[in-house]
């Protein structure tokens, strides 16, 4: 099927393009921009007048809950959420049940995802068997099965010798290692250790839970030479460590979750379990530092950290509530809101959820609209606003601290490899 997307403002950060022009798609690929190739006859014309035509979003962290937690979400439900959110490529963390530590599990996940034919799914394999931090996984075979990186999700490693060995082994092949900076003991609280947690009597997670783990991870990256990516930074102090490591020549990337760009521990309010997240929402000064660093490119990308949680697990006191929030459908609106508040050009804003994220994930055919690229496209109205409601979310997880917020950016069309998945 040949598709012509006409009259839209095409923003493709990877190719530094921001212009009103047409996009031509054939056989699942972008075949031309601007003027039609010779003999191109569109089967369908999508009028994108007044809309932005961007690469489909690339999300560095979206839990699909398969295998093992299908009562929280399924591939079917979460793929629908991805399409509604304009997300066409996503990395899923290994904290499924069982963890993504066997090639067979990864193959099954990729197979299920391909059959649904929605977003491209890129599994992050477990760095250690069962995420237990004891035994290395078969990283070569897992890579063959489809893993793009290896990590521990939210389960920190206790034994730094194993961490060093795992990094050495991954570095042998040039595999990426994605780590969440969390000290296994200091992260056992439920909220940022500060004024709010003290007042509410919630067990604190000090900033040192992030910085101590991060210092170790950076040091081991230096000595092992592994390609390290730090996921979901939460503090200004953590950011400083990344800055210093880079100044010393270390090649390290990092991301932040969309929640942490907008919320702080004050948003816990009267114990709202919706704000129980990992890492915890930190102080306002941390949030300001993260926002500025993402604008300046010191933080490479923003992810949804999509974590569908069922209602029973949230209708409990704060500390007992399962951490996490739904996010796939909020990634674009929250990123747009941040970009507008930081007064950034739209192409810079979008780069953080397209080109920059694709670079970290190591994918070349997605995250941009160059000729020859996969025709993964997100068309959205940047001026329209939408109020976030439970009923309006396609994800099986209805829990987000942004319920009731009016957020900018309404996705009208999502294309995956030239197939119109939303807006058909």
Partner 1 sequence: MLNPQLSKDGKLAHLLTLEGLPKSILTEILDIAAPFTEVGEREVKKLPLLRGKSVFNVFFENSTRTRTTFEIAAKRLSADVINLNVSTSSTSKGETLLDTVDNLCAMGADMFVMRHASSGAPYLLAQHLRATGRDHISVVNAGDGRHAHPTQGLLDMYTIRHYKKDFTNLTVAVVGDVLHSRVARSEIAALTTLGVPEVRVIGPKTLLPTDVERMGVRVFHDMREGLKGVDVVMMLRLQNERMQGALLPSSQEYFKVWGLTPEKLALAKPDAIVMHPGPMNRGVEIDSAVADGGNAVILPQVTFGIAVRMAVMSMLAGH
Q: Which amino acids are annotated catalytic? A: 305
Q: Cα separation of 136 and 18, whole Å?
A: 45
Q: Which stretch binds partner 1 (CB under 8 A): 95-103, 171-179, 199-207, 255-263?
A: 199-207
In the complex, the smallest distance separating the C-beta of residue 273 from partner 1, rounded to whole angstroms, is 8
| Token reading at 278 | 């990992």
Q: Is the dihedral of CA 267, 399, 334, 95 positive or negative?
A: positive
DSSP state of 320: G
* CA R_g for the chain: 21
- Residue 67 within binding range of partner 1, rule CB under 8 A: no
Q: By CB under 8 A, what part of segment 296-315 binds partner 1?
A: 312, 315
Q: By CB under 8 A, what part of segment 346-405 binds partner 1?
A: none
- Residue 280 within binding range of partner 1, rule CB under 8 A: no
In the complex, the smallest distance separating the C-beta of residue 196 from partner 1, rounded to whole angstroms, is 9
Opening angle at CA 266, ends 153 and 342, nearest 5: 80
- Residue 93 within binding range of partner 1, rule CB under 8 A: no
In the complex, the smallest distance separating the C-beta of residue 286 from partner 1, rounded to whole angstroms, is 14
- Residue 97 within binding range of partner 1, rule CB under 8 A: no
- Residue 317 within binding range of partner 1, rule CB under 8 A: yes
137 or 400: whose CB is closer to partner 1?
400
Binding mask 164-193 for partner 1 (x = CB under 8 A): -----------------------------x
**# residues contacting partner 1 (CB under 8 A):** 23
The residue within the footprint of partner 1, chosen from 85, 151, 194, 327 (CB under 8 A), is 194
- C-alpha 19 chain-centroid distance: 27
- Residue 116 within binding range of partner 1, rule CB under 8 A: no
Beta bridge partners of 9: 20, 52
Residues listed for the chain: 424
The residue within the footprint of partner 1, chosen from 318, 338, 380, 402 (CB under 8 A), is 318
The residue within the footprint of partner 1, chosen from 39, 41, 115, 199 (CB under 8 A), is 199
Phi, psi dihedral angles at 386 (to 5 degrees) = -135, 135
Q: Cα separation of 146 and 148, whole Å?
A: 6
Opening angle at CA 64, ends 300 and 286, nearest 5: 35
| Token reading at 140 | 């070569």
Helix axes 75-84, 103-116, angle to 10 degrees: 50
The residue within the footprint of partner 1, chosen from 10, 57, 58, 197 (CB under 8 A), is 197
- Residue 58 within binding range of partner 1, rule CB under 8 A: no
Q: Cα separation of 183 and 212, whole Å?
A: 7
199 or 343: whose CB is closer to partner 1?
199
194 or 382: whose CB is closer to partner 1?
194
Burial 183-219 (b: 16+ CB within 10 A, else e): beebbebbbbbbebbeebebebbbbbbbbbbbbbbbe
201 or 362: whose CB is closer to partner 1?
201
The residue within the footprint of partner 1, chosen from 42, 319, 342, 410 (CB under 8 A), is 319
Q: By CB under 8 A, what part of segment 233-272 binds partner 1?
A: 269-271
The residues near 269 (Cβ < 8 Å, ≥ 6 apart) are: 275
Residue carrying the six token digits 């009208």:
412
27 or 311: whose CB is closer to partner 1?
311
- Residue 68 within binding range of partner 1, rule CB under 8 A: no
315 or 389: whose CB is closer to partner 1?
315
The residue within the footprint of partner 1, chosen from 27, 97, 195, 341 (CB under 8 A), is 195
**How many CB atoms are located within 10 Å of the residue 248 CB?**
9
In the complex, the smallest distance separating the C-beta of residue 278 from partner 1, rounded to whole angstroms, is 17
- Residue 95 within binding range of partner 1, rule CB under 8 A: no
User: DSSP for 91-149?
Assistant: EE-S-SSS-S-SHHHHHHHHHHHHHHTSSEEEEEEESBGGG-SSSB--HHHHHHHT--E
The residue within the footprint of partner 1, chosen from 201, 296, 362, 423 (CB under 8 A), is 201
Q: What is the 3-state secondary structure (H, E, C) of 207-265?
A: CHHHHHHHHHHHHHHHHHCCEEEECCCCCHHHHHHHHHHHHCCCCEEEEEEHHHHHCCH
261 or 274: whose CB is closer to partner 1?
274
179 or 321: whose CB is closer to partner 1?
321
The footprint of partner 1 (CB under 8 A) covers 193-195, 197-204, 206, 269-271, 273, 312, 315-320
């Amino acid at each position: 099927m040949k598709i012509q997307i006409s009259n839209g403002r095409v923003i493709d950060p990877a190719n530094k393009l921001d212009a009103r022009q047409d996009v031509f798609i054939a056989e699942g690929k972008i075949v031309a921009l601007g003027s039609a190739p010779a003999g191109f006859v569109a089967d369908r014309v999508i009028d994108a007048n007044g809309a932005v035509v961007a690469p489909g979003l690339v999300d560095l962290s979206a839990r699909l809950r398969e295998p093992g937690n299908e009562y929280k979400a399924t591939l079917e439900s979460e793929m629908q959420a991805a399409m509604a959110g304009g997300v066409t490529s996503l990395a899923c963390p290994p904290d499924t049940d069982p963890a993504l530590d066997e090639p067979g599990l990864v193959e099954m996940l990729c197979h299920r995802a391909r059959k649904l034919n929605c977003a491209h799914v890129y599994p992050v394999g477990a760095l250690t068997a069962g995420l237990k931090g004891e035994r290395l996984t078969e990283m070569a075979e897992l890579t063959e099965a489809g893993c793009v990186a290896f990590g521990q999700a939210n389960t920190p490693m206790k034994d730094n010798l194993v961490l060093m060995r795992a990094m050495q082994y991954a570095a042998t092949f040039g595999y990426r290692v994605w780590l969440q900076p969390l000290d296994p003991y200091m992260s056992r609280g439920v909220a940022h250790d500060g004024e709010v947690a003290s007042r509410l009597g919630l067990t604190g997670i000090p900033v040192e839970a992030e910085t101590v783990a991060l210092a170790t991870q950076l040091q081991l990256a230096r000595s092992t030479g592994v390609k390290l990516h730090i996921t979901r930074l939460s503090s200004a102090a953590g950011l400083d460590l990344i800055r210093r490591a880079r100044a010393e020549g270390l090649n390290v990337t990092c991301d932040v979750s969309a929640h942490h760009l907008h919320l702080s521990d004050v948003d816990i309010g009267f114990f709202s379990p919706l704000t129980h997240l990992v890492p915890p929402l930190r102080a306002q000064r941390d949030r300001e530092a993260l926002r500025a660093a993402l604008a300046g490119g010191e933080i490479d990308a923003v992810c949804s950290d999509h974590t569908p949680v069922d209602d029973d697990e949230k209708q409990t006191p704060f500390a007992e509530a399962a951490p996490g929030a739904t996010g796939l459908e909020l990634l674009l609106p929250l990123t747009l809101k941040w970009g507008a508040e930081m007064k950034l050009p739209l192409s810079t804003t979008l780069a953080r959820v397209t080109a920059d994220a694709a670079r970290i994930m190591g994918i070349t055919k997605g995250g941009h609209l160059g000729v020859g690229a996969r025709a993964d496209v997100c068309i959205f109205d940047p001026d329209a606003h939408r109020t976030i409601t439970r009923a309006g979310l396609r994800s099986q997880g209805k829990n987000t601290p942004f319920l009731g917020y009016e957020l900018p950016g309404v996705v009208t069309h999502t294309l995956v490899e030239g197939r119109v998945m939303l807006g058909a």
